[in-house]
Structure formats: C-alpha cells, structure tokens
Amino acid sequence: MEVKQTLCKTALSPSSLPGLSYSLNPYRGCQHHCAYCYAPNVLRMNQDQWDATIEVKTNIPVVLAKELKTKKPGVVGISTVTDPYQPLEQKYMLTRYCLEQLLKVDFPIHIQTKSALVTRDIDLVSRFSESQVMMSIATVHDEQRKALEPHSSSIQERLHALRTYADAGVRTSVFFGPVYPTTSLEEIPSILDTFRESGATEIWIDMLRLKPGIWENIQKGLQQEKEVFRVFSKNVFENKKYYMNIREEIRKRGKERNLKILDAF
C-alpha cells in the first residue's frame, strides 16, 4: 500500500445524501479493503487502486477552517465516500483536527464508520449541540467479516464503540448494509436486539450492489469459505425475493422494538 500526501483545494462539498448538507472526506481511498465497496465505481476509479494508494489530504483542517467562516450552517457528513477512521487516522489525525474546527462553529455532524477508533474523539463529538455516530455493520458473524472486510474493526469492537457513544448521550445508529446474503430471516430479531442493546435507535438498511468488479472481489474473499459462498450466490442470483423479504422482516421486527427503520438508498 502506498500513502500519498496531497493538498486539497476544498474541504466541504455539497451533499445530496438524505439529511446531509455537506460531505467531508479527509482521505481518498481506504485501508479496510471491503470486497463489496462501490466507492471506486462512484469515483470512476480502478477497484484495485482504491486500497492500493491512499491519499492523505494533509491541509484539509486549514482549508476547512477558512471555509467555515463563510459557509451556511448545515449537517456535515464525515465521511461520505471513505472511512474517516481507517487505520491511517491514528497517525495523521485529520478527522480529529477537522472536528476541532467544526466544533468552534458548532456545525451539526454525522459520522459514519466501521472503526472503533471513533471512540478516541468522544471528548469532541459529545460537545457538539447536534451529533450522530453511525456504525456500519453488514453482518454479525465476525468470521465472514474477516473474509470480506479484513482490515476493519471486529463486530464486537464496533458494537462496544456504539454503546460507548450512546452512554455518553450521543445519538447513535447502525448502517446495516450491505446486508450479507447469508443473513436469514430467523436471525433478524436477534440482530435488531443486538443493535438496540448497543444503543442504536435508528437502523438504515441497504442491499448488496454488484458494481463492476465487486463479485470477483467477493469470490476471492470467500475462496476458503465454500458454504458461505454458496449461500451468497444463491441469495444474490437465484432467490430474487431475498432482499425484499429481508427488508420486510426488518421493518416488522423493528416496529416491534420501537426502532426507526430507513432505506439507505
């Protein structure tokens, strides 16, 4: 992996995502190496390049500070394309430095990550008038997570991070997506119970989207998991109602548990 330090011209970009006014991405590319990531397709990048070269926008806190002097207040999504708490953040701390600037003007923030490193900045995040931490969790089975998200935090670490923020009074939610096709209808109640017990009151759901190159990545990740791959294939290509049934079950069981259920896209 190559780490490339770059200078950015802008920090805040307009966001069309629901509930967000701006997006803030301190990095370009991601170390988590998730097989199903479609960010490279969105940015029209080569899939292999996405986690082979990580761009570190070293000046983004300074650029952000200047932009905040003239920007209209609005919810800032951190991050919308790549994970703001990928391992490099431990060294460069760009997300933390950006949070310090945002806190000075108290813009609302919405953090999405699959890294337990987010708890490092609880001292800052808990001081915002309006903040939300959304943890991305696509499966509760950590062996499958290791195969398809090899450099991300474990599921238990993510749930613990979520609970930590909830206990601190910060609004917390789960991005349940892309729901692994190995997820059964029978598992949904216990999965939702796990999310709720970890402090989430809101669940966003998304399906697996097979952009170019993604299925090949999944095949590579699951080459040692024959049965898991068989179930993946069946529910992706044969069981055409799989995700419709999963969504209906999540909605039904979520309502029983007083959880707010939303479609991500």
Domains observed in the chain: 2-263 (3.20.20.70)
DSSP 29: S
Report if pTM > 0.85: yes
If 0-12 CB within 10 Å is exposed, 13-18 middle and 19+ buried, where does residue 256 land? exposed
- Residue 41: pLDDT above 80? no
Q: Which residues pair with 243 in a beta bridge?
A: none
- Average pLDDT on 80-98 reads 96
Q: Report the percentage of the chain scoring pLDDT > 90.
A: 90
Q: Please state, as a whole number, how many other Cβ atoms lie within 10 Å of the Cβ of residue 120.
A: 17
Provide the pLDDT confidence category of residue 264 given band limits of 50, 70 and 90.
confident
Q: At what angle do helices 188-197 and 242-256 cross, to 10 degrees?
A: 50
Q: What is the mean pLDDT of the chain?
A: 95
Closest CA to 7 of 45, 44, 49, 62: 62
Provide the pLDDT confidence category of residue 265 given band limits of 50, 70 and 90.
low
Residue 246 tokens read as 């999963």
Q: How far apart, in whole angstroms, are the C-alpha atoms of residue 175 and residue 167?
A: 19
Provide the pLDDT confidence category of residue 193 given band limits of 50, 70 and 90.
very high
Residue 164: half-sphere exposure toward Cβ, Cα within 13 Å: 16
Residue 95 and residue 112 in contact, taking contact as beta carbons nearer than 8 Å: no
- Give residue-wise pLDDT tens across range 209-250: 998 889 999 999 999 999 999 999 999 999 999 999 999 999
Q: Report the percentage of the chain scoring pLDDT > 70.
A: 99
- Residue 120: pLDDT above 70? yes
